[in-house]
Amino acid sequence: MRGANGWLTRLFDIGLWLVVCAPPVSAALGLDGRDAVVAAVGVPLLGGAVAFSRRWPLAALAVPVALSLMTDPEMLTPAYWAALAVFGYLAGSRTVAVRPALWFFGAVAVAGLVLCAIVASDLWDWPTMLLTLLIGVVLPWLLGRYRRQYADLMATGWRLAERMEHEQQAVADRTRIRERARIAGDMHDSLGHDLTLIAVQAGALEVDPTLDARQQAAVGELREAAGAATERLREIIGVLRADDEVPPRAPSEESADTVVERARASGVEVTLERSGATDDLPPMVALAVHRVVQESLTNAAKHAPGAAVRVRVARDGDTLRLTVVNGPAPAGRLPGVASGGSGLVGLDERVRLAGGTLRAGPTDDGGFDVTAELPAAGAAPRAVEPPRPTASARELDLARRQIRRRLIQAVLAPPAVLAGILFLMIPLSLISSVFSVLDREVYDGLTAGEPRDEVESRLPRFTRDGAPDGAPATPRGQDCAYYSTRFMSGDGYRLCFADGRLVSKSVVGEDD
């Protein structure tokens, strides 16, 4: 399999090399001189860039960028546009860190400024170069980076989300099992108490003198069977309980009033309100009420110490509504106290098995509200509700939104940079207007036939931004440069060269 992947990688790289080399080869066939040499040299250099683009993607991107700058400081080189876009995209998709790429783009921008100022002697070429860099290199890099982030999200995000969901589901399942074991313990308390009473009564009958020997033997067997059943029940419940769970020492038949009184005695400010008859509740419902009140008071004392707690038990027909509300903690939560959420999961399981529903959540004033609705006459266990969106699912949704936001940023970034370039052209226009003014005396001293080097030594460092309005077309075979007659003037001086010498000079433009 590894060998097959290696061959596929080589074939992909060869195809990539052919794609990026096709434009310069085509251009070299129609060029001569230096341009043809640069285009021809670019073919093996691009091949080398493809070879090490997987290990050093930014270094590979530097090859077409350098070739493009060598050909034209403005990077207006159609022969390398495909290479710029391809290697820019690969650099974005194969580079993890952003800072090296930003340093690289900054270095290219500075190099372009130097080339435009020294080689081209025209600062107006630099905004064009920046725009070409932005569209031809930076935009593909952003698209490649988005693809990498999206691929990472698909590769690791789903795996992490699935693992977290399994872990959370396992925690919830363990909590439900513990709660069911707790319910079994409660049943043991009640049933064990009844079996004990049966054994005691059977023991009394066993020594009753009014019974004959056969009847006393039968009663003795009944006493022994009740005792054995009690012991087996205790062993089974002991297996179901968790290792750290203390088995009950006595039957747990206390009411909500007893729980409230015990909490009040321990210092909790709690009030109990009752409405309707609650003395004839089925055992499962009564145990659920006891458990909800007990757990809610424990949580209030743990997470909101000093807060007032109100317990309300109201029966309306066949529905029993239990509400436990605590206010915010006067001094805040105790340090180091954390909530794993398993208590509420256990309460929900307890209430569900009694046929009811449970709602729990914070109140507007910073407190907490636990409300249980139970069938007063008892009912079959309520069906388990489908799982709610987990924290991992919410985090995954957040990551998706971040990816979409980054894509929008990638789309909007080029227009924003373009607007910045246009704004930058204002000071460049002023600089060009100031340093492209040709003194009238220098202009008058120029004569046709002078070598171009001697003429340019007396000219301003920069030319003006294009030909003035109304200037005639450039004669065929000549290279014309334009200079301002004065600051921000509409007309200008035109100097045309051919074969390395000045062939003509004229004043062109609005005042011509």
Got the DSSP string for 309-324? EEEEEEEETTEEEEEE
Confidence of residue 247 (pLDDT cuts 50, 70, 90): very low
Confidence of residue 497 (pLDDT cuts 50, 70, 90): very high
For residues 320 and 285, the answer to whether their CB atoms sit within 8 Å is yes
| CA dist., res. 259 & res. 251, Å (int) | 15
Residue 334 reports pLDDT greater than 50 = no
Residue 441 reports pLDDT greater than 60 = yes
Residue 410 reports pLDDT greater than 90 = no
Task: Write down the mean pLDDT value for the chain.
Answer: 76
Confidence of residue 510 (pLDDT cuts 50, 70, 90): low
State the pTM of this model.
0.43
Q: Give the domains, in start order, of the chain with CATH numbers.
A: 14-164 (no CATH), 256-330+340-387 (3.30.565.10), 440-508 (3.30.1450.10)
Confidence of residue 1 (pLDDT cuts 50, 70, 90): very low
Give the mean model confidence (pLDDT) for residues 501-505. Answer: 91
Which of 346, 310, 348 lies closest to 326 in space, CA to CA?
A: 310
Q: What is the pLDDT of residue 200?
A: 58
Confidence of residue 378 (pLDDT cuts 50, 70, 90): low
Q: What is the pLDDT of residue 250?
A: 39
Burial of 19 (0-12, 13-18, 19+ CB in 10 A): middle
Phi, psi of 54 (to 5 degrees): -75, -35
Residue 338 reports pLDDT greater than 70 = no
Q: What is the pLDDT of residue 246?
A: 44
Residue 243 reports pLDDT greater than 60 = no
Cβ-proximal residues to 398 (8 Å cutoff; 6+ apart), any chain: none
Residue 434 reports pLDDT greater than 70 = yes
Give the mean model confidence (pLDDT) for residues 182-207. Answer: 64
Give the mean model confidence (pLDDT) for residues 483-507. Answer: 87
Give the mean model confidence (pLDDT) for residues 189-199. Answer: 60
Residue 455 reports pLDDT greater than 80 = yes
Distances (CA, A) of 224 to 189, 196, 210, 228: 19, 11, 21, 6
Q: Which residue has the tokens 């009694």?
A: 354
Which of 426, 431, 425 lies closest to 130 in space, CA to CA?
A: 425
Residue 115 reports pLDDT greater than 70 = yes
Q: Summarize pLDDT for 79-88 with one digit per residue, the tens.
A: 788 888 888 8
Q: Which two tokens stand for residue 375?
A: 């069938």
Distances (CA, A) of 41 to 48, 66, 67, 70: 11, 12, 9, 12
Confidence of residue 312 (pLDDT cuts 50, 70, 90): very high
